[in-house]
Structure 1
Amino acid sequence: MDENKRTVTEDSKYIQQHLANERTFLAWIRTAIAIMGIGFLILNLHIKSATQSLSNMTVQIIGLLSVLTGVCTILFSTISYFQKAKQINEQTFRPSRSLILFLALLMLLVTFLFGYYFFVSLIGK
């Protein structure tokens, strides 16, 4: 048997699609890191600037939701990556509507809380 002969795998039929799937996964991971970073940033900025109790509670909720959203993004994007890899090979691709909707709702909640926090902090000054 020739050692240079390569075995064609199921994945090698759809190389471009698998590479695109990996790029999408990495983009989700970068997004998750950014979301968590925003939560930590607002916590650090708030600790240095204000002491209002309602504002403190809002900032803590924003920080917690940001970390939760980031963790959910990592978990769901990992699951989605493996599902997409299987679907690519089986040629049964389905978009991740529920994943997108869930993460969008979490981000809208975080964004709403950011707006509330900044509105309250502006009125308080």
Structure 2
Amino acid sequence: MKVDEKKPRKQNLSWAIDRSANERTFLAWMRAAIALMGFGVVVVRLRVVQLPVQYRQAMGWKLGLIFSLVGLGTVLISTLHYFTVRQHIDDDTYEPPDGMVFFFSFAVGLLGIGVIYSILAAAQGSVTVVIPD
């Protein structure tokens, strides 16, 4: 093997740094996905624990389900993204994706709007009930 055919040491170090950064990003996406799914469970549990003062159509389980589905979608998309970026790093053709950032920002923004709506609907729908002795 000739010395000229071997990659310079700095380039190998850069490759390792890029691969490590990709893995850290993937793990951050996994933490976000777990948090989204966990928050979905919390939303559902908070709605179940409330005392049934009056019958009303509960929306909490739908919001919890949406959070869980977005969390699951985050797992799937981030796994695909991790392997795609890893291949691009190996091929030295990596370009940062703008679409994925916009997509998840939009999805989390919609979830935030759903949470705010749920809080406002619960506040307006709360009724003070006097329990007779």
TM range, smaller chain: 0.7 to 0.9
**2:116 maps to which residue?**
115
Structure 1 moving runs of 4+ over 6 Å: none
Consecutive unaligned residues in structure 2, runs of 5 or more: 1-6, 127-133
Greater relative contact order (Cα < 8 A, sep 6+):
1
- Cα deviation, residue 50, structure 1: 5.2
1:58-110 Cα offsets, whole Å, 9 max, x none, are: 21221111111101111111111111111112221122222222222221111
How far apart, in 2, do the equivalents of 1:96 and 1:71 lie? 20
**1:27 maps to which residue?**
28
How far apart, in 2, do the equivalents of 1:50 and 1:38 lie? 21
Q: Which amino acid aligns with 1:29?
A: M
The answer on whether the counterparts of 1:21 and 1:84 sit within 8 Å (CA) in structure 2 is yes
RMSD of aligned alpha carbons: 1.8
In the comparison of the two structures, how many residue pairs are matched? 113
Equivalent runs, 1:64-75 vs 2, <5 Å: 64-75=65-76
The counterpart of 2:56, out of the listed 30, 53, 56, is 53
Q: TM-score, length-normalised on structure 2?
A: 0.77
How far apart, in 2, do the equivalents of 1:39 and 1:50 lie? 20
Q: Percent identity?
A: 30
